[in-house]
Amino acid sequence: MARFVHKRASEHIPEALRPALEPILEQIGSLTERIREYNRKLEAICQEHYPETELLRQVEGIGPLTALTFVLTLEDPYRFEKSRSVGAYLGLVPATDRSGERDPQKRISKEGDQMLRRLLVGSAHYILGPFGSDSDLRRHGQKIASRGAKNSKKRAAVAVARKLSVLLHRLWVTGELYDPLYNANRRQGQEAA
């Protein structure tokens, strides 16, 4: 849809504004084509040099850029004993500042790779947004967002990004097929038994 915006917009521009807006629409078209070309190059890099990215891209909301950045940032998935450690490595866990009996809830630590953290949070926003399909990740985020606190939607996105980092690492290590409703289906099976 985005690739045709500049073409559709030109049809609706009044004749008096055409001389001023045509160059802008041409720039938009040129940028759109360059973005498509970069996406094709990313796809080729993923397929030729990093086939493990295909495992990560099973998760809706994870594209070639996020998968490739995840693989290149972590380098070796086996250096993490537990998948849960990946969230902390990427700075997606609350920072600590314990003093005596006080243990205040702080913001995330923001340690680790900033670009990957942003990409994961962006993927989390997609999962939680109007185009995300039903999954354990979405349900987890919606549960946090429904608490209604001041920053509950932001907290939900970060929590989903943290869970997403754990899930991606797990998929990479095990090579399993991704089941978006694994936990929900498992609970239903336990209740039926």
Is the pTM higher than 0.85? The answer reads no
CB 157, CB 124: distance < 8 Å: yes
Q: Residues 104, 122: contact at Cβ < 8 Å?
A: no
| Pair of tokens at residue 13 | 């521009």
CB count within 10 Å of CB 96 equals: 10
**Burial grade of 172 (CB within 10 A; 0-12, 13-18, 19 or more):** buried
| pLDDT tens-place values along the chain, 193 residues long | 455 666 677 778 888 888 888 888 889 889 999 999 999 999 999 999 999 999 999 999 999 999 999 999 999 999 999 999 999 899 888 766 666 666 556 667 677 889 999 999 999 999 999 999 999 999 999 999 998 777 888 889 999 999 999 999 999 999 999 999 888 788 777 777 6
Distance CA 36, CA 28 (A): 12
DSSP 55-77: HHTTSTT--HHHHHHHHHHH--G
Task: Provide the phi-psi class of 100: left if phi over 0, else alpha when psi is between -120 and 50, else beta.
Answer: left
Look at residue 1 in the predicted model and tell me its pLDDT.
47
Q: What pLDDT does 46 receive?
A: 95
Phi, psi of 106 (to 5 degrees): -110, 175
Amino acid at 81: E
Strand partners, 102: 99
Could you give the angle at the alpha carbon of 66 between the alpha carbons of 64 and 67, nearest 5°?
A: 65
**Which residue, among 112, 114, 106, 88, has the nearest Cα to 166 in the 3D structure?**
88
23 dihedral zone (left: phi>0; alpha: psi -120 to 50; beta): alpha
Map tokens 């939607």 to a residue.
Answer: 153
User: What's 16's DSSP letter?
Assistant: G
